[in-house]
Amino acid sequence: MPFLRNAWYVALWADDLVPGELTSRTICDQPIVLFRRLDGTAAAIVDQCAHRFAPLSRGRLCGEHVECPYHGLRYDHTGMCVENPHGSGRIAPALHISSFPVEERHSAIWVWLGEQAADASLIPDFSHLDAGAPGVLSKRDWMVLDVDYRLMADNLLDLSHVNFLHDGLLGHSGMVDAEVVIEEEGDTLVVTRTSKDVLPPKLFDLMYRNDGEPVDTWAEMRWSAPGCLRNHAGVCPPGRARHDGMTVIGTHLLTPISATQCYYHIAAVQLGGLPPGDTEAEVAEQLSRLRRFAFEEQDRPMVEAQQRAYDRAGGPEALKPVMLSIDTGPIRARRILHRMIEAEGTPVTLSRRIPA
Protein backbone atom coordinates (compact mmCIF):
# COMPACT_ATOMS: atom_id res chain seq x y z
CA MET A 1 0.00 0.00 0.00
CA PRO A 2 1.53 3.37 -0.98
CA PHE A 3 1.69 6.10 1.65
CA LEU A 4 2.03 9.85 1.28
CA ARG A 5 5.63 10.57 2.31
CA ASN A 6 5.94 14.34 2.09
CA ALA A 7 3.47 15.07 4.87
CA TRP A 8 3.30 15.58 8.62
CA TYR A 9 2.14 12.65 10.75
CA VAL A 10 1.29 12.80 14.44
CA ALA A 11 3.50 10.37 16.36
CA LEU A 12 2.09 11.04 19.83
CA TRP A 13 0.78 13.71 22.16
CA ALA A 14 3.57 16.00 23.33
CA ASP A 15 2.94 15.21 27.01
CA ASP A 16 3.58 11.53 26.28
CA LEU A 17 7.16 12.19 25.12
CA VAL A 18 8.79 12.09 28.54
CA PRO A 19 12.28 13.59 29.04
CA GLY A 20 14.90 10.90 29.60
CA GLU A 21 12.84 8.16 27.95
CA LEU A 22 12.77 6.56 24.51
CA THR A 23 9.43 6.11 22.74
CA SER A 24 8.92 3.84 19.74
CA ARG A 25 6.41 4.39 16.97
CA THR A 26 5.91 2.83 13.54
CA ILE A 27 4.62 5.25 10.90
CA CYS A 28 3.92 4.09 7.34
CA ASP A 29 5.84 0.84 8.05
CA GLN A 30 8.86 2.87 9.23
CA PRO A 31 10.06 2.12 12.81
CA ILE A 32 11.01 5.36 14.58
CA VAL A 33 12.39 6.13 18.03
CA LEU A 34 11.57 9.51 19.54
CA PHE A 35 13.14 11.31 22.49
CA ARG A 36 13.76 14.73 23.96
CA ARG A 37 17.16 16.36 23.82
CA LEU A 38 18.62 18.09 26.87
CA ASP A 39 17.03 21.39 25.85
CA GLY A 40 13.62 19.70 25.67
CA THR A 41 13.25 19.70 21.88
CA ALA A 42 11.92 16.53 20.31
CA ALA A 43 13.99 14.35 17.96
CA ALA A 44 13.27 11.27 15.85
CA ILE A 45 15.65 8.76 14.27
CA VAL A 46 15.29 5.33 12.67
CA ASP A 47 14.57 2.72 15.34
CA GLN A 48 17.24 0.38 14.06
CA CYS A 49 20.95 0.18 14.76
CA ALA A 50 23.10 0.03 11.64
CA HIS A 51 25.22 -2.79 13.09
CA ARG A 52 22.88 -5.73 13.74
CA PHE A 53 19.56 -3.92 13.29
CA ALA A 54 18.59 -4.03 16.96
CA PRO A 55 15.69 -1.72 17.92
CA LEU A 56 17.24 1.35 19.52
CA SER A 57 14.02 1.99 21.46
CA ARG A 58 14.97 -0.96 23.69
CA GLY A 59 18.17 0.82 24.64
CA ARG A 60 18.63 3.87 26.82
CA LEU A 61 19.08 7.61 26.53
CA CYS A 62 22.53 8.77 27.65
CA GLY A 63 22.25 12.54 27.89
CA GLU A 64 20.89 13.17 24.43
CA HIS A 65 22.49 10.17 22.74
CA VAL A 66 20.63 6.92 22.09
CA GLU A 67 22.57 3.83 23.10
CA CYS A 68 21.94 0.57 21.27
CA PRO A 69 20.92 -2.18 23.75
CA TYR A 70 22.83 -4.87 21.83
CA HIS A 71 26.41 -3.62 21.47
CA GLY A 72 26.43 -0.11 22.92
CA LEU A 73 26.85 2.04 19.80
CA ARG A 74 25.52 5.55 20.37
CA TYR A 75 23.62 7.88 18.04
CA ASP A 76 22.81 11.58 18.21
CA HIS A 77 19.60 13.33 17.20
CA THR A 78 20.71 13.52 13.55
CA GLY A 79 21.30 9.76 13.32
CA MET A 80 25.08 10.15 13.35
CA CYS A 81 26.91 7.37 15.17
CA VAL A 82 28.97 9.24 17.77
CA GLU A 83 30.48 6.33 19.69
CA ASN A 84 31.72 2.83 18.85
CA PRO A 85 32.98 1.15 22.02
CA HIS A 86 34.62 -1.72 20.15
CA GLY A 87 38.15 -2.18 18.74
CA SER A 88 39.76 1.07 17.66
CA GLY A 89 36.44 2.89 18.01
CA ARG A 90 36.43 3.73 14.31
CA ILE A 91 33.06 4.99 13.09
CA ALA A 92 32.48 3.94 9.50
CA PRO A 93 30.14 6.17 7.44
CA ALA A 94 27.80 3.18 7.02
CA LEU A 95 27.07 3.29 10.76
CA HIS A 96 25.07 6.50 10.38
CA ILE A 97 21.28 6.18 10.21
CA SER A 98 18.45 8.46 9.09
CA SER A 99 16.70 11.09 11.17
CA PHE A 100 13.36 12.82 10.61
CA PRO A 101 12.25 16.45 10.93
CA VAL A 102 10.08 16.97 14.02
CA GLU A 103 7.73 19.77 15.05
CA GLU A 104 5.98 20.16 18.39
CA ARG A 105 2.75 22.00 17.71
CA HIS A 106 -0.86 21.99 18.91
CA SER A 107 -0.03 19.66 21.82
CA ALA A 108 1.33 16.97 19.48
CA ILE A 109 4.63 15.72 18.10
CA TRP A 110 4.60 15.76 14.29
CA VAL A 111 7.08 13.81 12.15
CA TRP A 112 7.94 14.34 8.45
CA LEU A 113 8.92 11.22 6.49
CA GLY A 114 9.50 12.59 2.99
CA GLU A 115 12.60 13.54 1.06
CA GLN A 116 11.35 17.04 0.26
CA ALA A 117 12.26 19.81 2.71
CA ALA A 118 9.88 19.76 5.67
CA ASP A 119 7.54 22.75 5.70
CA ALA A 120 6.04 23.44 9.14
CA SER A 121 3.40 25.71 7.59
CA LEU A 122 1.77 22.55 6.17
CA ILE A 123 0.75 21.37 9.64
CA PRO A 124 -3.05 21.81 9.80
CA ASP A 125 -4.52 24.30 12.26
CA PHE A 126 -5.47 22.64 15.54
CA SER A 127 -4.83 25.75 17.63
CA HIS A 128 -7.93 25.02 19.71
CA LEU A 129 -5.64 22.52 21.52
CA ASP A 130 -2.97 25.11 22.33
CA ALA A 131 -2.28 26.14 25.91
CA GLY A 132 -4.45 29.11 26.82
CA ALA A 133 -7.00 28.48 24.06
CA PRO A 134 -10.60 29.05 25.18
CA GLY A 135 -12.92 26.24 26.22
CA VAL A 136 -12.92 23.10 28.34
CA LEU A 137 -10.43 20.50 27.08
CA SER A 138 -11.06 16.76 27.31
CA LYS A 139 -8.38 14.18 27.94
CA ARG A 140 -5.89 13.86 25.08
CA ASP A 141 -6.57 10.22 24.36
CA TRP A 142 -5.24 7.69 21.84
CA MET A 143 -5.60 4.09 20.78
CA VAL A 144 -4.34 1.65 18.16
CA LEU A 145 -6.95 0.48 15.64
CA ASP A 146 -6.60 -2.64 13.53
CA VAL A 147 -7.83 -0.82 10.46
CA ASP A 148 -6.56 1.01 7.38
CA TYR A 149 -6.42 4.68 8.44
CA ARG A 150 -8.29 5.65 5.27
CA LEU A 151 -11.24 3.52 6.32
CA MET A 152 -11.42 5.40 9.62
CA ALA A 153 -11.29 8.69 7.70
CA ASP A 154 -14.22 7.45 5.61
CA ASN A 155 -16.13 6.88 8.84
CA LEU A 156 -15.49 10.42 10.03
CA LEU A 157 -16.27 12.10 6.71
CA ASP A 158 -19.65 10.34 6.50
CA LEU A 159 -21.35 11.45 9.71
CA SER A 160 -24.72 10.13 8.58
CA HIS A 161 -23.69 6.98 10.48
CA VAL A 162 -24.11 8.72 13.86
CA ASN A 163 -27.88 8.43 13.49
CA PHE A 164 -27.61 4.64 13.39
CA LEU A 165 -24.35 3.47 14.95
CA HIS A 166 -24.53 6.13 17.69
CA ASP A 167 -28.35 6.33 17.88
CA GLY A 168 -29.34 7.81 21.22
CA LEU A 169 -25.90 9.30 21.91
CA LEU A 170 -24.64 11.40 18.97
CA GLY A 171 -27.65 11.24 16.66
CA HIS A 172 -31.14 9.87 16.03
CA SER A 173 -33.61 9.17 13.22
CA GLY A 174 -34.79 12.78 13.13
CA MET A 175 -31.35 13.88 11.90
CA VAL A 176 -31.04 11.47 8.95
CA ASP A 177 -32.51 13.92 6.43
CA ALA A 178 -29.84 16.60 6.87
CA GLU A 179 -28.56 19.35 4.60
CA VAL A 180 -25.09 18.34 3.36
CA VAL A 181 -22.55 20.75 1.87
CA ILE A 182 -19.12 19.66 0.58
CA GLU A 183 -16.37 22.21 -0.02
CA GLU A 184 -12.96 21.46 -1.50
CA GLU A 185 -10.03 23.85 -1.41
CA GLY A 186 -6.63 22.60 -2.51
CA ASP A 187 -5.78 19.54 -0.44
CA THR A 188 -8.47 20.21 2.17
CA LEU A 189 -12.07 18.99 2.21
CA VAL A 190 -14.93 20.12 4.47
CA VAL A 191 -18.18 18.15 4.81
CA THR A 192 -20.96 19.93 6.74
CA ARG A 193 -24.22 18.34 7.92
CA THR A 194 -26.96 20.58 9.31
CA SER A 195 -30.28 19.58 10.92
CA LYS A 196 -32.75 22.26 12.01
CA ASP A 197 -35.37 22.22 14.75
CA VAL A 198 -34.74 18.65 15.88
CA LEU A 199 -34.50 16.93 19.24
CA PRO A 200 -30.96 17.30 20.60
CA PRO A 201 -28.57 14.33 20.48
CA LYS A 202 -28.11 13.01 24.01
CA LEU A 203 -24.42 13.89 24.31
CA PHE A 204 -25.02 17.50 23.26
CA ASP A 205 -28.10 17.83 25.45
CA LEU A 206 -26.17 16.65 28.51
CA MET A 207 -23.43 19.20 27.86
CA TYR A 208 -25.81 22.03 26.96
CA ARG A 209 -29.22 22.73 28.52
CA ASN A 210 -30.13 19.15 29.53
CA ASP A 211 -33.81 19.88 28.86
CA GLY A 212 -34.56 17.87 25.71
CA GLU A 213 -35.91 20.92 23.88
CA PRO A 214 -35.46 21.21 20.07
CA VAL A 215 -32.26 22.68 18.63
CA ASP A 216 -30.48 23.36 15.39
CA THR A 217 -27.44 21.10 15.12
CA TRP A 218 -24.42 21.02 12.83
CA ALA A 219 -21.27 18.99 12.24
CA GLU A 220 -18.52 20.53 10.09
CA MET A 221 -15.79 17.97 9.45
CA ARG A 222 -12.54 19.30 7.97
CA TRP A 223 -10.15 16.74 6.46
CA SER A 224 -6.51 17.56 5.69
CA ALA A 225 -4.29 14.97 4.01
CA PRO A 226 -3.23 12.45 4.93
CA GLY A 227 -5.43 11.86 7.99
CA CYS A 228 -5.99 14.96 10.12
CA LEU A 229 -9.64 15.77 10.86
CA ARG A 230 -11.32 18.50 12.91
CA ASN A 231 -15.05 18.38 13.65
CA HIS A 232 -16.66 21.71 14.54
CA ALA A 233 -20.03 20.53 15.86
CA GLY A 234 -22.70 21.90 18.13
CA VAL A 235 -26.26 22.86 18.93
CA CYS A 236 -28.07 26.17 19.35
CA PRO A 237 -31.68 27.31 19.83
CA PRO A 238 -33.68 26.94 16.58
CA GLY A 239 -33.10 29.84 14.21
CA ARG A 240 -30.28 31.34 16.31
CA ALA A 241 -26.59 31.82 15.53
CA ARG A 242 -24.08 29.13 16.43
CA HIS A 243 -22.42 31.27 19.07
CA ASP A 244 -25.73 31.41 20.95
CA GLY A 245 -25.40 27.71 21.69
CA MET A 246 -22.71 25.18 22.54
CA THR A 247 -19.84 24.00 20.33
CA VAL A 248 -17.55 20.98 20.58
CA ILE A 249 -14.40 20.99 18.46
CA GLY A 250 -13.34 17.39 18.02
CA THR A 251 -9.82 16.40 17.02
CA HIS A 252 -9.21 13.16 15.10
CA LEU A 253 -5.61 12.48 14.10
CA LEU A 254 -5.05 9.30 12.10
CA THR A 255 -1.52 8.00 11.57
CA PRO A 256 -0.96 4.80 9.56
CA ILE A 257 1.19 2.15 11.19
CA SER A 258 0.79 -0.25 8.28
CA ALA A 259 -1.77 -1.01 5.60
CA THR A 260 -4.14 -2.45 8.20
CA GLN A 261 -3.35 -0.64 11.45
CA CYS A 262 -3.25 2.98 12.64
CA TYR A 263 -2.85 5.25 15.64
CA TYR A 264 -5.95 7.26 16.51
CA HIS A 265 -5.39 10.40 18.60
CA ILE A 266 -8.54 12.10 19.87
CA ALA A 267 -9.38 15.16 21.97
CA ALA A 268 -12.19 17.70 22.19
CA VAL A 269 -12.80 21.23 23.38
CA GLN A 270 -16.20 22.47 24.52
CA LEU A 271 -17.04 26.14 23.97
CA GLY A 272 -20.02 27.76 25.67
CA GLY A 273 -23.20 26.26 27.02
CA LEU A 274 -21.84 24.98 30.34
CA PRO A 275 -24.77 23.18 32.04
CA PRO A 276 -26.00 24.84 35.24
CA GLY A 277 -24.13 23.58 38.30
CA ASP A 278 -21.42 21.72 36.34
CA THR A 279 -17.77 22.58 36.89
CA GLU A 280 -15.23 22.62 34.07
CA ALA A 281 -13.60 19.51 35.56
CA GLU A 282 -16.93 17.66 35.49
CA VAL A 283 -17.55 18.70 31.88
CA ALA A 284 -14.04 17.61 30.84
CA GLU A 285 -14.50 14.20 32.50
CA GLN A 286 -17.91 13.68 30.91
CA LEU A 287 -16.66 14.80 27.51
CA SER A 288 -13.72 12.37 27.71
CA ARG A 289 -15.78 9.44 29.00
CA LEU A 290 -18.65 9.65 26.52
CA ARG A 291 -16.41 10.25 23.50
CA ARG A 292 -14.20 7.31 24.50
CA PHE A 293 -17.30 5.13 24.81
CA ALA A 294 -18.55 6.14 21.35
CA PHE A 295 -15.20 5.36 19.70
CA GLU A 296 -14.22 2.28 21.72
CA GLU A 297 -17.59 0.56 21.92
CA GLN A 298 -19.27 1.64 18.69
CA ASP A 299 -16.93 2.98 15.96
CA ARG A 300 -14.02 0.65 16.64
CA PRO A 301 -15.89 -2.69 16.40
CA MET A 302 -17.56 -1.52 13.19
CA VAL A 303 -14.51 -0.30 11.28
CA GLU A 304 -12.40 -3.24 12.41
CA ALA A 305 -15.14 -5.61 11.20
CA GLN A 306 -15.04 -3.81 7.85
CA GLN A 307 -11.28 -4.26 7.74
CA ARG A 308 -11.64 -8.00 8.36
CA ALA A 309 -14.09 -8.20 5.45
CA TYR A 310 -11.51 -6.56 3.18
CA ASP A 311 -8.79 -8.88 4.48
CA ARG A 312 -10.88 -12.00 3.84
CA ALA A 313 -11.46 -10.86 0.26
CA GLY A 314 -7.76 -10.28 -0.34
CA GLY A 315 -7.74 -6.49 -0.07
CA PRO A 316 -10.08 -3.54 -0.77
CA GLU A 317 -9.68 -3.86 -4.54
CA ALA A 318 -11.38 -7.27 -4.43
CA LEU A 319 -14.70 -5.89 -3.14
CA LYS A 320 -17.12 -3.62 -4.95
CA PRO A 321 -19.45 -1.89 -2.49
CA VAL A 322 -22.37 0.05 -3.88
CA MET A 323 -21.70 3.73 -3.22
CA LEU A 324 -24.47 6.02 -1.93
CA SER A 325 -24.83 9.79 -1.94
CA ILE A 326 -23.44 9.86 1.61
CA ASP A 327 -20.12 8.51 0.26
CA THR A 328 -19.34 11.62 -1.79
CA GLY A 329 -17.16 13.22 0.90
CA PRO A 330 -15.04 10.13 1.65
CA ILE A 331 -14.47 9.40 -2.04
CA ARG A 332 -13.44 12.97 -2.80
CA ALA A 333 -10.96 12.88 0.08
CA ARG A 334 -9.53 9.61 -1.24
CA ARG A 335 -9.09 11.13 -4.68
CA ILE A 336 -7.22 14.11 -3.23
CA LEU A 337 -4.95 11.80 -1.23
CA HIS A 338 -4.26 9.53 -4.19
CA ARG A 339 -3.51 12.52 -6.41
CA MET A 340 -0.92 13.69 -3.88
CA ILE A 341 0.66 10.23 -3.66
CA GLU A 342 0.86 9.97 -7.44
CA ALA A 343 2.53 13.40 -7.56
CA GLU A 344 5.34 11.81 -5.54
CA GLY A 345 5.81 9.26 -8.32
CA THR A 346 3.82 6.34 -6.93
CA PRO A 347 0.92 5.17 -9.13
CA VAL A 348 -2.38 4.55 -7.33
CA THR A 349 -5.37 2.65 -8.66
CA LEU A 350 -8.74 4.13 -7.70
CA SER A 351 -11.90 2.36 -8.85
CA ARG A 352 -15.02 4.40 -9.52
CA ARG A 353 -16.94 2.12 -7.19
CA ILE A 354 -14.52 1.66 -4.33
CA PRO A 355 -12.00 3.81 -2.47
CA ALA A 356 -9.07 1.51 -3.24
CATH code, domain with 56: 2.102.10.10
- Count of domains observed in the chain: 2
Which of 55, 90, 115 is where one domain is finished?
115
Domain assignment present for residue 250? The answer is yes
Burial of 114 (0-12, 13-18, 19+ CB in 10 A): middle
Res. 288: pLDDT tops 80: no
Burial of 117 (0-12, 13-18, 19+ CB in 10 A): exposed
Work out the pLDDT band at 274, boundaries 50, 70, 90.
low
In tens, the pLDDT along 4-23 reads 999 999 999 999 999 999 99
For the segment 304-331, the average pLDDT, to the nearest whole number, is 90
Q: Which domain holds residue 215?
A: 127-343
Q: Are residues 262 and 317 in the same domain?
A: yes
- Counted residue by residue, the chain has a size of 356
Domain assignment present for residue 355? The answer is no
Following CA atoms 293, 247, 152, 150 in sequence, which dihedral angle do they give, to the nearest 10 degrees? Answer: -160
Q: Are residues 110 and 133 in the same domain?
A: no
Alpha-carbon gap, residue 33 to 315, rounded angstroms: 30
What residues contact 4, with CB distance under 8 A and at least 6 apart? 225, 226, 337, 340, 341, 344
For 279, half-sphere exposure in the C-beta direction (CA atoms, 13 angstrom radius) is: 3
Res. 286: pLDDT tops 60: yes
What residues contact 201, with CB distance under 8 A and at least 6 apart? 162, 169, 170, 171, 172, 175, 217, 235
Q: Can you give the pLDDT at residue 203?
A: 84
Q: Are residues 108 and 138 in the same domain?
A: no
CB 206 within 8 A of CB 235: no
Q: Are residues 250 and 221 in the same domain?
A: yes
For 51-65, 206-220, 226-240, 290-304, which range has the lowest pLDDT when averaged over its residues? Answer: 290-304
Q: Can you give the pLDDT at residue 351?
A: 46
Name the residue with higher pLDDT: 62 or 295: 62
Res. 355: pLDDT tops 60: no
Domain assignment present for residue 356? The answer is no
Q: Are residues 110 and 173 in the same domain?
A: no
Q: What is the CATH number of the domain that holds 205?
A: 3.90.380.10
Q: Are residues 173 and 312 in the same domain?
A: yes
Q: Are residues 105 and 184 in the same domain?
A: no
Q: What SS3 string covers the chain?
A: CCCCCCCEEEEEEHHHCCCCCCEEEEECCEEEEEEECCCCCEEEEECCCCCCCCCHHHCEEECCEEECCCCCCEECCCCCEEECCCCCCCCCHHHCCCEECEEEECCEEEEECCCCCCCHHHCCCCHHHCCCCCCEECCCEEEEECCCHHHHHHHHHCHHHHHCCCECCCECHHHCCCEEEEEEECCEEEEEEEEEEECCCHHHHHHCCCCCCCEEEEEEEEEECCCEEEEEEEEECCCCCHHHCEEEEEEEEEEEEECCEEEEEEEEEEECCCCCCCCHHHHHHHHHHHHHHHHHHHHHHHHHHHHHHHHHHCCHHHCCCCCCHHHHHHHHHHHHHHHHHHHCCCCCCCCCCCCC
Res. 277: pLDDT tops 80: no
Alpha-carbon gap, residue 168 to 280, rounded angstroms: 24
pTM comes to 0.92
For the segment 104-122, the average pLDDT, to the nearest whole number, is 97
The bridge status of strand 42-46 relative to strand 99-100 is antiparallel
For the segment 79-84, the average pLDDT, to the nearest whole number, is 98
Alpha-carbon gap, residue 125 to 61, rounded angstroms: 32
What residues contact 354, with CB distance under 8 A and at least 6 apart? 316, 317, 319, 320, 321, 323
